Structure 1
Amino acid sequence: MPILLALDASSSACSAALLRRRANHPDELISRFELAPRAHTRRLLPMVDEVLDEAGVTPADLDAIAYGRGPGSFTGLRIAAGAAQGLAFGLDRPLLGISTLRALVLGAHRRHHYRYLVTALDARMGEIYAACWRCHQDQVEPLDEEAVLPPERLRLPEGHDDHDWVGVGSGWTLRESMPAETQVAMSLCLPDVEVAAEDLVLLAADDFAAGEGRPAHEVQPVYLRDQVVWRKSR
């Protein structure tokens, strides 16, 4: 059964996780997580060594590598991308870039069983990285496209106004700047939740099983701000 490694440095947190899928036995999930602003370069690879050692595997035993591809901190994304690409190149293993917003959603769903979530990360410069999601039985479905936009323009997808929505991510510190109808729709906001590699690696395992692993040079960070704003004003 496959063994996957995931790492993330997209926010103030730094994390690594190893997942070993096992037939007829529960999966083995080993992780490290630390709030380490400005220490990602120093902490990320030691975390990788720690989860490998605890699992009793070597880098050569890995079937695929994954990392948080963004959106998030430009510097952190480059650190994680460089480490993950270096491992994937050196081991000749496929690489998977996993959306940090998608990982935030899975984490909140796994731990609290929330079904409808709005992820928002503080993108600085008066903007947020945002998307809306629906979850069921550890499956994450996007309801719109990930976008970078001012908090004043964050609105829920049409036809979903009657759900109990939960806001997740640092962008919810800007809640008072969001439209009144968006604020009212939130039953709960969790601005302190960070991306964790243990959620990334679970998503990566599903993507790997679906054949989505790619050569290392083909998998790049997703900054969103480099692109034309995807979500238009409603």
Structure 2
Amino acid sequence: MSSRERILGRVRRALADVPATERDGTAYERAVPRGYLREHGERSVAETVELLAENLADYRAIVHRCTPADLAATIAGMLAARGAKTVLVPPGLESEWLAAADAERIADRAESTPDELDRVDSVVTACAVAVAETGTIVLDGSPDQGRRRITLVPDHHICVVRVPEQVVSSVPQALERLDPARPLTWISGPSATSDIELDRVEGVHGPRTLEVVLVGD
């Protein structure tokens, strides 16, 4: 008898007197109270959005604010300021967002190699949700966000967040909106790490520069 068979045998014997209707985990869920805080403190919608902006900046993301009518010009200005000649575009991104941009649009293709993605100057995506308390943006691979790798290889990521509808206060509130079966990418500022002397190095595991556009009336 293998170790695996012995362990599974012990589990079966331990569950022998448990009714079959309670073996699916629901009994445990009922027995354990989960009175967790859903957010820390009470904030208005405007205060929640302001907290998001503050925490994004604290993580060294560059935060912009604009109205929907000004979004295309805002993105075009950001790309021009960086000197971006090429921009990677997810298939479901709203075409109006890049209507004023002069950069060449590069499609998100499955066959693109890491070297090809590394040569792209910038990438523009939407997001699934943004968490104010942690300054975190979550991508879920939806058509307007594209494959995970397109936001990990290029050095410059522009992410558009619709406010207030895509902004929540806390991680528990964000999880309620997300599908755990999707490829979730949690972004808190540009990619960074530090050595034993706490010397910060950015751009190690993803974009060196993260710019977030908060779009709302």
TM-score interval (norm. to shorter) = under 0.3
Higher strand share: 1
Q: TM-score, normalised by structure 2?
A: 0.26
Give the structure with higher Rg (CA).
2
Name the TM-score, length of structure 1 as normaliser.
0.25
